[in-house]
Structure 1
Amino acid sequence: MSASDRLVPTRRPTLRPTTLIPVEDWRPAGIEDLEPAAWQALRDTGNVAVVAGPGAGKTEFLAQRAAYLLQTGLCPWPQHILAISFKRDAAANLGRRVAARVPEHASRFASMTFDAFTKGLVDRFAPALPPDWRMSHGYDIRMAPDSEVRAFLNTVAFSAPQALARQVGFQPGRFVSDIVGGWSLPESVPTDDAVDAVSYAAREWWRARYLRPGKAEVDFVMLNRLAELLVRAVPRLRRALRMTYPIVFVDEFQDTTSAQFSFLASVFGEEAAVTTVGDSKQRIMGWAGAVPEAVQRFTSTFQATAYWLAWNFRSSDALVELQHVIASKLDPTTVRATSKATAEDGHEPAVLWTFSGGDREARFIADWIARDIAGSDRMPADFALIARQKVKDFEPLFRARLAAHGIRVRNDDARVGKITLQDLLKSDTTRLFVGLLRLAHQPRGLAALWQEVSATLERVHGAADDETAQQRVGEDLSDLTTRLRAWLQAHPPSTTSAADAVRKVLDLVDSAALRRYMKATAPGEEFDLVTGAFEARLETVLDGADDWGVVLDEFESADAVVLLTTHRSKGLEYHTVFFLGIHGRQWWALGSDPREGTSTFFVGLSRAAQRLVFTTDRSERTGPIAAFFAMLTEAGVPEVDQG
């Protein structure tokens, strides 16, 4: 079979729905209603840009729009909706939400990250790349550190033609995202050195890492550029993608890079209806190449209609007012959101606490959380400790002080194996493994978990639309959990290694089928990295445990106070947020990019639903950090010295 014969994506056929809902009769699923602007955006069948601030229910809006288009037949069978997110957990969350809203259409909703989608295209159709760009020995994914980029730029500046040498003065930290990502690959590699500095430097980068003997080295920016070249050079593939995905969603659009925008325009700029959701005030990925004014660029390029959502379902009215003060600094024209959350009485919604030192801060907050839990129905997971960076510096003190009250801390930014704990816990592979182990350990009372694991295995084995195959998967799952239960009973955690436990699960689930499924549905998620991280995490929680239930509880640490960076907190929400380290040491880079720093500040503080506590020390409040304190004063946030 030639490469061109493989260009049309082969998909397992889905069952045609027996009934459709008339457009005028359609109602939201799982929620009471949508706000007026959301209804307008939902019913618009063209290109749509939805501008939605924190707490506006962006994920829920996309899930409802998907339900509307699928249930009414506006996305006709057998076509699919493609949803692109920037974070794996966001993509998984949206996919699960659509499956819960319209399970009969879930197989026609593909939710993945931008990197996963472009990597999947390159992996599948690389032989169809123009001859100059075809790989002979495959590739490895490796992100070049700034030091390596700096050395490359020095070399290029030295070897460049005299007319260009002085122009190759690019910033190492932005070179890959801006220069490599902004260079559209020509179908033939240019050989003439009489080009501009951008094209010359980008070409030399590709020559050094990709157009070389042996295995190529690429990062996700380069994979994006290869995918864009692929669909541009092979019209048949572009037509196939548009036919398969006539409707496309893009979440967190304000973080779109120039390379990603170019790819989106090349593939879906015509004959597809694209819906973007984002908020320019939460643009915190400028350092990674996010384009300025992405929403405006989209509405212009795609001739899209913009809609502004005004309801905030997360935060109390007092916190919405605080958010508006900061939002107005980023966009003076911003309209104050309307809180739809019920405010709690009996506490200050926002306050600034000052401490004399880190130990005093950790002890005071730990005691405060313990008292609050004891006097309410709240759980540790209702509290988050958020910091701009270096959260590992906060972990030892908070872990020790909270442990004195029997409260766990989960550092979502911690490295486990070669990935972060947050990425590990959100992985579909991890959810499947933990689900199987829990079902084996506790055979009754976990109906919802059984359904989730069963649904995953149905997708792994291609049984989602085949009742006979579904029944067989259910029988296999019953047998699998029975055998795994016997193994767990014979291998108590105190005498069992993590490697043996992981090996046993892989033997039972048909790891080859699982690997194929994960490669097809989450190409950016390296199966071996996830299983390796799973084993590493399991090893740390096995020590001293005498019950598998305790091991799994500790593994997930679902009932823990979460410690994470502002970037990892994006899209999440908590009853009470402690925003740690409002001082110059945490925000040392604020002066170099005040707008992005303020956006990061805005993202962190807008995670709170009911209570927001900023913490600082007694260091100087001069320089760029003074702007934050001025905003808090303007918003009427009181300051309390806690000693």
Structure 2
Amino acid sequence: MPVSSRRIRSEDWKPIGVDELEKNALIVVQSAKNRSVIAGPGAGKTELLAQRAAYLLQTGKAPAPRRILAISFKRDAATNLTARVRQRCHRNHADRFDSMTFDAFAKGLIDRFGQALPQRWRPRPNYDIMFPVERDYREFLSQLVGTPPATVGTYADIQAISVKTFERRYLVGSPLPVDGLPNSTPVQWAADRFWQMSLHTGNKSVLSFPMIGRLAEILLRVNPIVRDALRLTYSHVFMDEFQDTTQIQYDLVRTIFLGTDTVITAVGDNKQQIMRWAMAMDDPFTAFDETFGATRTPLSNNYRSSPELVRIQHILAQALDARAVAPVSKTVGTITGDSCAIWDFSTPEIEAKRLAAFIASEMKAHTLAPRDFVLLVRQKANEYAAILGPAFATVGIHLRNEAGMVGSIMLQDLLVEAASELIVAILRLAITTRAGRHWSKCQVALVTLWGIAYDDEVAQANLARELDAYVLKFKANHNNPPNSKAESRQIIDDIIGFIGCDRLISTHPAYGQGEWLEKVLDSIAEHLWMSAVAGTKWVPALDIYEGIHAVPLMTIHKSKGLEYHSVIFVGLDDGAWWSFSNDQIEATAGFFVAFTRAKQRVVFTYCAQRGARTNIAVLYQLLINAGVKIVNIA
């Protein structure tokens, strides 16, 4: 049934598309106050926020023309939330919902208003994005920074600066002072030099996303007109995956919304904090509750995992938070045998062979698809794929390393790029006989890209005719997928020409900076060409592009937010978890994240040839305490 666009009285509103919400979830959905929501694995965080958006928009609690802003840590989380809100709301409501990442939000502010920054902090309009790592800071401090004034220190003092803390503590550790960073010590002087060289040296400014976040915060601090415009625009703010929020991101939100009537809902799970290495705050929930006067609200239902897996999850959760509330599984167990086990193998080759045979058998016995399974690794996915891939191919299963690079972009990241998703949707529409869902997806995307009003029926009818004419022409000119990268790029450019490059950049501002759009389109072209090898037709080529018939292999960090029937974690050993002792809390959280991706089964594998399991004995002990068996396979 289509979702109505009419205003609904708050007392008459009911959850949309679901049978019911748990009591605390409904309280959050209808809340008029700031709340921090601790939502464990499978609690339905995306659904909770979508229902809250529907309630606020449909009842007028978020009154037009004010909007709702949802900011997430990851792009796919932002995209998924947008899609869910569109399912729950009529379009004239959903069009007032803005979902984006923190990085995109900050970057959008700099792209629109950055030239209003004080000259000292003002980047050139067409700046480039950099992704610095420790070696870049080491090179800067050893070769590029220069010699400080005698009043500050010596070259030797610069060499003594800790590379590990230079960015986190001194470069972006605090809000930027309007008059410039202090430079009375060697490390302060070096941080100021890094900023000024990045902003003002060369033909273009070069900025990292943490630097952009800091610039966005000072921009709003010194330009109250821009800040107040945001306050007037957004009546409500959602902060998703809040456990991964950095101090930079938190300070930006605080500068904009503290002390206003904007209601903020922060949702996440403190047991899944695996981004402290990327500057996530130690305890953002407590800071939020204290600063914004938020009410802490836990959710207890788990709609993902079977009762047995939820029981084990709780034992793991208590190692991270002794106060963790025991979740309630709302899912039925469907497998026979162990829901969780540790399999010991003598060699990686035997491990690969047995895992391939196991998945092939399970797919056949239970009518499961390849993407009902996932192979997770801690790191070095390429090395695992080199051994696992051939074994899976032997039983007729394609194992896809989603951590592999396509051009300069990781495959898993490429697939959630807006340009990639739109191009695939148009290709699917062009080559599918009964293409209803592809037609709807393209229509919705193009209406947004082309700025057509939801109630402009004439413009929408014209768009439908243009889209129909384009796909007919495309199919006539490209009956088969490309047989070279050059041909693939021609196809991509043709689609972008129809969409409108300027429209794409206007809707997705990240594509307007530097060479990012070119890198994305080049990677799309390469991946499309490689997916069409061996004379495949369009449908199988696009299936390969999206990995529909492949078992995915990925890292723990990239699995966050995803779910699978069966999770196989390969390599529970000291070698893979070499940094376990450096931050045992974050490592255990990563272990928890890997476990909680599963709906029905989790298998951990160990191979003595890869390393001992002495340093991570605590992880094994947690599983043993939960009654998980170690099985010697070979």
Distance 1:219 1:556 in 2: 30
CA contact (8 A) 1:161 1:193 kept: no
Choose which of 450, 453, 462 in structure 1 pairs with 2:442.
453
Distance 1:494 1:193 in 2: 58
Identify the residue that residue 176 of structure 1 maps to in structure 2: 167
Identify the residue that residue 131 of structure 2 maps to in structure 1: 143
Identify the residue that residue 186 of structure 1 maps to in structure 2: 177
Q: Deviations over 1:85-135 (max 9, x none)?
A: 111111000000000110331110000010001001101111111232223
Shift in Å at residue 158 of structure 1?
6.2
SS of residue paired to 2:628:
coil
SS of residue paired to 2:105:
helix
Deviates more, 1:553-562 or 1:359-368: 553-562
Matching of residues 94-173 of structure 1 within 5 Å: 94-104=81-91, 105-136=93-124, 138-154=126-142, 159=148, 171-173=162-164
**RMSD between superposed Cα atoms in Å:** 2.2
Distance 1:383 1:136 in 2: 47
Q: Deviations over 1:583-621 (max 9, x none)?
A: 011000101111111111111111011000000113664
Shift in Å at residue 555 of structure 1?
1.0
Shift in Å at residue 147 of structure 1?
1.5
Identify the residue that residue 209 of structure 2 maps to in structure 1: 220
Identify the residue that residue 265 of structure 1 maps to in structure 2: 254
Identify the residue that residue 331 of structure 2 maps to in structure 1: 341
Distance of aligned partners of 1:521 and 1:98 in 2 relative to their CA distance in 1, 3 Å threshold? farther
Q: Deviations over 1:288-312 (max 9, x none)?
A: 1111111001101111111000111
Identify the residue that residue 506 of structure 2 maps to in structure 1: 516
Q: Does 1:75 align with 2:62?
A: yes
Distance 1:521 1:302 in 2: 34
Shift in Å at residue 445 of structure 1?
1.8
Q: Deviations over 1:15-47 (max 9, x none)?
A: xx9631111111111111111111122222111
Q: Deviations over 1:217-249 (max 9, x none)?
A: 110011001100111110000010111112111
Choose which of 305, 309, 322 in structure 1 pairs with 2:295.
305
Identify the residue that residue 10 of structure 1 maps to in structure 2: none
Distance 1:337 1:136 in 2: 51
Distance 1:621 1:144 in 2: 33
CA contact (8 A) 1:129 1:230 kept: yes
Matching of residues 344-363 of structure 1 within 5 Å: 344-363=334-353
Q: Does 1:280 align with 2:270?
A: yes
Letter of the 1:65 partner, please give it: R
Identify the residue that residue 64 of structure 1 maps to in structure 2: 51
TM-score under structure 2 length normalisation: 0.94
Shift in Å at residue 168 of structure 1?
8.6
Shift in Å at residue 373 of structure 1?
0.9
Shift in Å at residue 170 of structure 1?
5.0
Distance of aligned partners of 1:161 and 1:344 in 2 relative to their CA distance in 1, 3 Å threshold? farther
CA contact (8 A) 1:174 1:288 kept: no
Q: Does 1:411 align with 2:398?
A: no
Deviates more, 1:616-625 or 1:558-567: 616-625
Choose which of 218, 221, 245 in structure 2 pairs with 1:232.
221
Shift in Å at residue 213 of structure 1?
5.1
Choose which of 275, 281, 297 in structure 2 pairs with 1:291.
281
Q: Deviations over 1:435-472 (max 9, x none)?
A: 11121112x22211110111001111111422221111
Q: Does 1:638 align with 2:626?
A: no
CA contact (8 A) 1:122 1:223 kept: yes
Distance of aligned partners of 1:359 and 1:20 in 2 relative to their CA distance in 1, 3 Å threshold? same
Identify the residue that residue 375 of structure 1 maps to in structure 2: 365
Distance 2:149 2:577 in 1: 38
Letter of the 2:576 partner, please give it: Q
Letter of the 1:304 partner, please give it: A
Deviates more, 1:624-633 or 1:606-615: 624-633
Distance 2:10 2:158 in 1: 57
Distance 1:317 1:72 in 2: 36
Distance 1:524 1:336 in 2: 48
Distance 1:492 1:302 in 2: 54
SS of residue paired to 1:182:
coil
CA contact (8 A) 1:392 1:414 kept: yes
Shift in Å at residue 389 of structure 1?
0.7
Distance of aligned partners of 1:530 and 1:21 in 2 relative to their CA distance in 1, 3 Å threshold? same
Letter of the 1:254 partner, please give it: Q
Shift in Å at residue 628 of structure 1?
1.0
CA contact (8 A) 1:582 1:615 kept: yes
Distance of aligned partners of 1:632 and 1:520 in 2 relative to their CA distance in 1, 3 Å threshold? closer
Shift in Å at residue 395 of structure 1?
1.1
Matching of residues 554-565 of structure 1 within 5 Å: 554-565=544-555
CA contact (8 A) 2:353 2:391 kept: yes
CA contact (8 A) 1:112 1:522 kept: no
Shift in Å at residue 359 of structure 1?
0.9
Distance of aligned partners of 1:269 and 1:198 in 2 relative to their CA distance in 1, 3 Å threshold? farther
Identify the residue that residue 3 of structure 1 maps to in structure 2: none
Deviates more, 1:35-44 or 1:166-175: 166-175
Choose which of 370, 384, 388 in structure 2 pairs with 1:394.
384
Distance 1:273 1:36 in 2: 20
Choose which of 425, 440, 464 in structure 2 pairs with 1:474.
464
Deviates more, 1:332-341 or 1:491-500: 491-500
Identify the residue that residue 32 of structure 1 maps to in structure 2: 19
CA contact (8 A) 1:498 1:542 kept: no
Q: Does 1:91 align with 2:78?
A: yes
Identify the residue that residue 9 of structure 1 maps to in structure 2: none
Choose which of 628, 640, 643 in structure 1 pairs with 2:619.
628
Distance 1:170 1:245 in 2: 42
Identify the residue that residue 33 of structure 2 maps to in structure 1: 46
Identify the residue that residue 542 of structure 1 maps to in structure 2: 532
Distance 1:595 1:22 in 2: 46
